[in-house]
Structure 1
């Protein structure tokens, strides 16, 4: 349960929104999204503040930025527009919804350059006019050790751009079709699966094709992961939208929402807690937008610069 893990970052970027609301432009293909009856922006801001405090108390470094604009309802989900990678590389991604494109922030990238060893920033956002989209570690669930990018095909995950990313960053693409119990395509892969150091959470029933499902599960096993299969109900509770992190003492934890944590069975909890401890975060207002804890945390897989 301790020791370095390339899969589990020790630091994350979070965005605290001041005008959060479920995004009408993303509702068209996000079946996890729901409309609140009242304005939840103040609750969302307090929710992010509290989650950041809990993560820091658990020994995770949190870099918290504020978004005071009113034009970016989904800015609380930074993992969709950038990702960081060992070797000092940062990727910036093209976003499908027009009102999400302004979430990309130069101050975040400049902070990473100052605080961490960044050698290269590769920006794919110029492909938006060509309607080529790849929404970061929402669209891709990355196994940083086995170097596999698991991706549910969607309008937010273009296969051509996926191949381009994988060639540049050294991942093997594992592309598949996935849908919920109603046949609605899964909009982001990270709502149906999570890869940690020793285990993987996955709603495998969402992959209708038997052969492709078996291939995905076998790759997870071959990568050294014990597979924890999630039901459709558990996916609806965001049990797949989790992220493994590393505390300053070297121990690992699985950050997930309290909704997700309550949905786990005793057997599933046993497997997880054999590898890391569960850190449940109350993010109910954020989940109205169709994402949960994983979407809120952009992991920092970069080497910090030495402090003078």
Structure 2
């Protein structure tokens, strides 16, 4: 797959003809009961910072932020499925970010993904989550997995590294050690998305952005993106692709560092649009940008400052979208 080129994937024979939705009305959230600084992910996640707090205090603060976010989303009419995952011998400090290891489709397919960091692979518990989803009235008709790519050293951390425009069946992906071309192309073919827009990214440190969903978000009719983080030779191509059907809201590196790109548009049970984001992201958007976003849905800012600073991920990372049909 060449850089800066819209890659064409093979047609998907079993593709559903049902109406395509951009936004989920149900999300999976995982309580941060083992939350902490993850030294493994910190190797390439520049958004993480260490804390002087003791582990008990840290987890209590993270749990408070988590509970408030769950309550807030439910109060707005978004279905939240809490996955109180079974513990194992290896601790999972990043389990609060479930969107990195699974995804779902409207056809009822549940995918599991290859994680780059060893302790994050312990989070991948598809059978347990499928059972929890069934109890919540969401039907998994088929399971599929790309976990085998771990053996090849090829990783693809789900909607952390892939930002989807479901309406145009386009995947946007910033390439990094957590997003390899081979597994990316394989997934696009499996779900029948004919367009993959892959590109390089670069932070001021010259390192790539570890997850695409930190620098961009795609809603039904808008896209937030830090074009500054994309090299000149690809920036215009990515922006042009988004502008075909979206209002493009460009954010700066400084705004990206406040997680302005890590937001997610959702639907309520009544079909209303809401946009979940962190309080820090909300405050970092300019008044004009907030007005633009508010035209696409009610803005829902949540204070997840502990999870953001220690975990290096924000609100969107905490939300695993569920597109599965209801039973």
CA distance in 1, matches of 2:29, 2:163: 18
| Kept in 2: contact 1:17–1:68 (CA 8 A) | no
| Kept in 1: contact 2:265–2:276 (CA 8 A) | yes
CA distance in 2, matches of 1:179, 1:35: 23
Q: Which residue of 1 aligns with 2:21?
A: 6
Residue deviations 1:172-205 (CA, integer Å, cap 9, x gap): 2111000123322100000000000111000001
Query: Of the candidates 73, 77, 95, which is equivalent to residue 59 of structure 1?
Result: 77
| Kept in 2: contact 1:17–1:66 (CA 8 A) | no
2:295 is the counterpart of 1:274: yes
| Kept in 2: contact 1:242–1:255 (CA 8 A) | yes
Q: Which residue of 1 aligns with 2:182?
A: 160
| Kept in 1: contact 2:98–2:320 (CA 8 A) | yes
Residue deviations 1:122-149 (CA, integer Å, cap 9, x gap): 1111221211110000010011111111
Q: Which residue of 2 aligns with 1:98?
A: 118
SS at match of 1:111: helix
2:35 is the counterpart of 1:17: no
2:244 is the counterpart of 1:244: no
TM-score (norm 2): 0.89
| Kept in 1: contact 2:149–2:183 (CA 8 A) | no
**1:292-307 equivalences in 2 (<5 Å):** 292-305=314-327
CA distance in 1, matches of 2:241, 2:111: 25
CA distance in 1, matches of 2:226, 2:322: 26
Residue deviations 1:284-308 (CA, integer Å, cap 9, x gap): 1110211000000001111111xxx
Q: Which residue of 2 aligns with 1:175?
A: 198
CA distance in 2, matches of 1:111, 1:42: 24
CA distance in 2, matches of 1:181, 1:198: 30
**1:69-218 equivalences in 2 (<5 Å):** 69=87, 71-105=91-125, 106-113=127-134, 115-171=137-193, 172-210=195-233, 212-218=234-240
SS at match of 1:254: strand
| Kept in 1: contact 2:164–2:170 (CA 8 A) | yes
CA distance in 2, matches of 1:109, 1:219: 35
Find runs of 4+ consecutive structure 1 residues off by over 4 angstroms: none
CA RMSD of superposed structures (Å): 1.4
Residue deviations 1:21-77 (CA, integer Å, cap 9, x gap): 021000000011111111311111121111100000111000012247470000000
Gaps of 5+ in 1: none
Between 97-106 and 116-125, the greater mean CA deviation after superposition: 116-125
| Kept in 1: contact 2:81–2:133 (CA 8 A) | no
Query: Of the candidates 258, 277, 281, which is equivalent to residue 279 of structure 2?
Result: 258
